[in-house]
Structures are given as C-alpha cells and as structure tokens.
Amino acid sequence: MKRREGKEKNDVRVELKYCEHCGSLWVRESGAGTVYCEKCQPKVADLPAPRKRPSRAVLPVRPHTAVEDYAVEIDIDEPGDFEAVGGVA
C-alpha cells in the first residue's frame, strides 16, 4: 500500500469498539484504553469499586459416570437396518 507524502501527519487511525456497559457501538482512536462510550463514562465512574479482585474461574468437577454391564448385542444372522437393498453403495 502506498502512502501519500504530506498526508502522514494528518492520518488518524480509529477502531470500532462496543461499550462494555451498554453495548452500543462507537469509534475510538486506535490504541486508546477507553472501554466505555461517552454516555456511560459518568455512570460507570459513580459505581463503587469492587471489593475483591475476581479470582480465577474454576469449573465444577464431578465424578465420572460409570456404566456397568454395557454390551452391544448384534445378531448377524438377522437382516438389520444397515443392509443394502439392491443398490450400489
């Protein structure tokens, strides 16, 4: 991609961002650390600080399900649903 000389000083890069409070889409300057839109920033500033840091997420673990006496019974002599009926596979 070619850059035009003289335009480099006026270039501003932007990125599309969604507000993490209300979910609306807005455009912010590239690399800016803001995560809330201008409408939500005062609302979020009034919220109390979290009491404790969120800990690492832990998935619930339960014992494996055991299936006893599990056996597949197939009668080879009797035609089943999987038999080809006069066609080419």
**Tens digits of pLDDT across the chain (89 residues):** 455 555 567 788 999 999 988 999 989 988 888 889 999 999 888 888 877 776 788 888 888 777 766 666 666 666 555 565 565 65
Residue linked to tokens 């014992």 = 63
Answer yes or no: is 35 within a domain: yes
Answer yes or no: is 16 within a domain: yes
pTM for this prediction: 0.43
State the residue range of the domain holding 20. Answer: 12-45
Answer yes or no: is 66 within a domain: no
Answer yes or no: is 87 within a domain: no
pLDDT of residue 16: 92
Answer yes or no: is 75 within a domain: no
Answer yes or no: is 85 within a domain: no
Give the 3-state secondary structure of 26-41.
Answer: EEEECCCCCCCCCCCH
In total, how many domains does the chain have?
A: 1
Answer yes or no: is 70 within a domain: no
